Structure formats: C-alpha cells, structure tokens
Amino acid sequence: MRCTFATVHYLLLRDMKKMKSLLLVAVLCCAGWLTSCNGNADAGKVAVDSVAADTGDVILAAVDRYLVDSIAVHYAEAELCIPSVTVVAKVQNSPDSVKVWGDFWVFNYNVVGDTLKMVSGGDHPGMMCLKKATDGTYQVASFDRVGDGSDFTPSAKRIFGSMYETFCTIQSRHQAREKVRAQGIAKYVKDNKLPVKYYQDFGWPAREIPAE
C-alpha cells in the first residue's frame, strides 16, 4: 500500500484506536527511513550531508578502502594506491546505513627517488551504499557506477538525480579536483612517512606535494 497522507487519514477515521501506530508508520514512510540501499538519489533522502561529524572520517576511510581493494586492482599494478574522493552528498538513511554520492578516483603510483610516479588509474563516479558491520566499522555493500560512453549522461542523471548539475560542476573543475588529489597525497605521505616530495603523471612535469 502506498504511504500517502490521504491513506493515513482514511485509516485514522476508520479506527481511531490505531492512531499512534499509524502516525508512526506515516512518519517513517514519508521520512524515508524504510528505504533500502537501492534507488536513485532522491529515494529515501533525509538531508544532504546529514552524516554525523564523528562518523565522517570512518565512512570516507571505508570508501577509500573499497577503492583500493576493489577498484584499483583492476588497473596496472603499482606499489601503492592513493584514492581521491570528492563527495557530492552523504545521506544517513538509518543508524547503520549511509549513502555517499561522489566523484571517485583511483591513482596507482610507484616510488621513484623522491617522486610518486603515476602508473595507472581512473575515474568511477557514482553512489556507494555503506553498511555498519558488527565490529562498528563501515563497509561498502553496493556501488552504483556511472556508465561509460553513451551511457554516461543517462546513468549519471539516474544516479545523482537532483544533484546531477552539482556533479557536472565538480567534474568540470579540474583545478579544484587536482587540489583534492594533492591534499590526499600529502596526507598519505605523512601518515606513511614516505620520503617523497613530488608526484608526477605520465608525460607531465612533476608537481610538489603540498604541506597537509
């Protein structure tokens, strides 16, 4: 049965004794709490960036881990992978379920002297659904990716919904995207104490790794 206010109103009139239960169902349905990880960007949407601040790093760490373990391995092998993620939106559908829409990149590097030299990588925009595991960590349960070629635009519109224009803007801003990438490299280098100062794409001059 569709959860509409007209339906709820009819049921309330029919049986006033069930008022509390019906109101609870109506609130849950209309707020989107009963939705699953499937669906487009507008389904079950509570609020953009509604993920609690104290779980944000945990969720993004899970996204990075998925990109390294499940996406980067399909590219030419290298010594290390440093993902670069620009989040379009994060929505918490329930205490244990989070959706993340974003522009997800993987970059595989070899360490050559004081430089990270990119070997392979690519872009995989889309929506990830993460579930909370029994140990309290988050894991990517599904990944709805934007298609390639002629399927790119229709699939991006389906996945990002009302956020499609925002996604397009993010994709078109190369300098901003490169800044996010450089910051991610700086953090990785610091966390892993790598003796490198530069990163370099094939055929391009090396760039200095910024201070984090």
Same domain, 6 and 87: no
Are residues 14 and 59 both part of a single domain? Answer: no
Which H, E and C letters describe 173-203, residue by residue?
Answer: CHHHHHHHHHHHHHHHHHHHCCCCCEEECCC
**Of the candidates 176, 180, 160, the residue with the CA atom closest to the CA atom of residue 83:** 180
Are the beta carbons of 60 and 85 closer than 8 angstroms?
A: yes
Residues 140 and 198 in one domain: yes
pLDDT at 68 over 80: yes
pLDDT surpasses 50 at 94: yes
Average pLDDT, the chain: 80
| pLDDT given at position 158 | 98
Contact call for residues 32 and 153 (beta carbons, < 8 A): no
Q: What is the pLDDT of residues 176-205, one digit of tens each?
A: 999 999 999 999 999 999 999 999 999 999
Token code pair at residue 67: 């990109």
Residue-wise pLDDT tens digits, 5-49: 333 333 333 343 333 333 333 333 333 333 345 545 443 333 333
Q: What is the DSSP letter of 210?
A: P
pLDDT of residue 46: 30
pLDDT at 53: 36
48 and 132 fall within a common domain = yes
Helices (H), 67-194: 152-160, 164-172, 174-192
What does the pLDDT read at residue 101? 98
Q: Into how many domains does the chain fold?
A: 2
5 and 72 share one domain: no
d(CA 61, CA 184): 12
Closest CA to 185 of 94, 128, 108, 95: 108
> 118 by DSSP, 3-state: which?
strand
Please tell me the predicted confidence (pLDDT) of residue 28: 34
Q: Which residues make Cβ contacts (< 8 Å) with residue 210, sequence separation at least 6? A: 182, 183, 186
Examine the domain organization and report whether 21 and 46 are in the same domain. no
Same domain, 23 and 7: yes
Instruction: Report how far residue 133's alpha carbon sits from residue 139's, in angstroms, rounded to the nearest whole number.
Output: 7
27 and 43 belong to one structural domain: no
For 95-119, what is each residue's pLDDT tens digit?
899 999 999 999 999 999 999 999 9
Q: Kindly indicate the confidence band of residue 136, based on its pLDDT and cuts at 50, 70 and 90.
A: confident
The parent domain of residue 17 ranges over 1-31
The pLDDT of residue 57 is above 60: yes
Task: Let me know whether 15 and 107 are in one domain.
Answer: no
- Do 189 and 103 lie in one domain? The reply is yes
Residues 6+ apart with CB under 8 A from 156: 125, 146, 164, 167, 168
Q: Can you tell me the mean pLDDT for 144-165?
A: 97
57 shares a domain with 1: no
Q: What is the pLDDT of residue 161?
A: 97
> CB neighbours (10 Å) of residue 132?
19
Asked if 192 and 174 sit in the same domain, the reply is yes
